[in-house]
Amino acid sequence: MSVLVTGAAGFIGFHLSRVLLQRGIPVIGYDNLNSYYDPALKRARLENLHQLASRSGVPFDLIEAHLEDPVALSAAFGGRTLDGQALASGPPRRVVNLAGQAGVRYSVENPSAYIQANLVGFGHILEGCRQHEVDHLVYASSSSVYGGNTKLPFSEQHSVDHPVSLYAATKKANEMMAHAYSHLYGLPATGIRFFTVYGPWGRPDMALSLFTRAILRGEPIQVFNNGQMMRDFTYIDDISESLIRVLDKPATADLGFDSAQPNPARSWAPHRIFNIGNSNPVPLIAYIEALEASLGMVAEKHFLPLQPGDVVATAADTSALEDWIGFRPGTPVEAGVAQFVEWYRDFYSL
C-alpha cells in the first residue's frame, strides 16, 4: 500500500518518507524543487531517499512537478510517470500533502505564490483523492492559523478566524476545503497544525539554520521582537512518529457531534484537526542559548521589532492528538538542537 508524499524533498516530507521506507512502505514522492531555498539541499535529501530505497529494496519514485499541474498530479494518483510508465510503487492508497508555499514573512512579499500553490494546488490534491478514492488524506496546516489569538495553549477548539498573514489564511482555507470534501464525498481527511518544526536537514530559511550559519561565520544574528518571543519548538522525529500514527488511523465521523454547539476540531464528516507540538513553549533566547551551548560559541545579537505576519507566542495543546494516537511529542530543545548542530557540521563540513 504505497503513500503519495507531496513535498517529499522538503524538510518534513523527507523525514516522513525515510520513516515510511524504513518500515517497508513504498513512497511516491512529488515535489517541484523550487528555489524558495537552495534546491541543492532538496536534491541531497532526495539522493538520501534513493539510496535508502536502493538498500532496502522498497520502491521510491519521484515525480518532479507543481501542485498546480493537474496532469502531473493525475499521473501520480494513477501510479504513472509523466510519460505514462507504471511506477514501481503503484497507485497510492494514502496521501500526505506537505507541499505548498512555505514561509510567513515571504507571504507578505509574494502573496500570489501562496494562492497558486496552497489554494489551487490543494484543490487539485482534493480532486485527486476524490477521483481515485484514496483511503486517507493527511494534510499540512499550521499553528499560524491561530493568528491573533492570545489565549495559550492553542487548542483545536479555539476560533481561528483572525489570521495575521496570507500564509495562515491559506492554511485555514485548506482546512475548510478538506472538510467540504469529507462531507460531500466521504473522504477521510486529517489536518495537522505544525508548531515550529526543527532538526537535522532543516530548512535554511528557518531560525535555527540562520542562527547557526551566522554564529559560525562570526556574524550577528537578528532577534525579532527584541527577543520577547515564545515558540513551541517541535523536534522532527516527534513529527514523523506523529504523522505515521495519524496516517495509520483515518479520520472518522464524530457520531456525537452537536451542530448546535459545534466542535471546530471534529465533524459529522470524516474530518479531524490536530495540533502537533511539543507542549512546552520555550523563550527564543533560551533556544539561542541551547544553540550557543552546542556550538561552544556566543552569538552577537541584534534586537529588532516584531515582523509583519509574526506572532509573539505559540504553545500547543496536544491532548487531542495524544488521545487519538497514543503519542505525545516531548524531545527537549537542548537534545534536539544538539542533534541539529551535529548534522549541520557534518553536512556542511564545518
Q: Is 344 a catalytic residue?
A: no
Which stretch of DSSP H or E encloses residue 322?
A: helix 319-325
CB-based contact 185:221 (threshold 8 Å): no
CB-based contact 212:341 (threshold 8 Å): yes
**For residue 102, what is its C-alpha cell?**
512555505
Q: What is the dihedral of CA 233, 239, 245, 247, to 10 degrees?
A: 120
Rounded distance between C-alpha atoms, residue 193 and residue 232, angstroms = 12
Rounded distance between C-alpha atoms, residue 34 and residue 10, angstroms = 10
> Of the candidates 177, 112, 92, which has an alpha carbon nearest to the alpha carbon of residue 141?
177
Rounded distance between C-alpha atoms, residue 316 and residue 193, angstroms = 9
Task: Exactly one of 30, 114, 146, 167 is catalytic; name it.
Answer: 167
Q: At what angle do helices 284-295 and 207-217 cross, to 10 degrees?
A: 50
Active site positions, annotated = 167
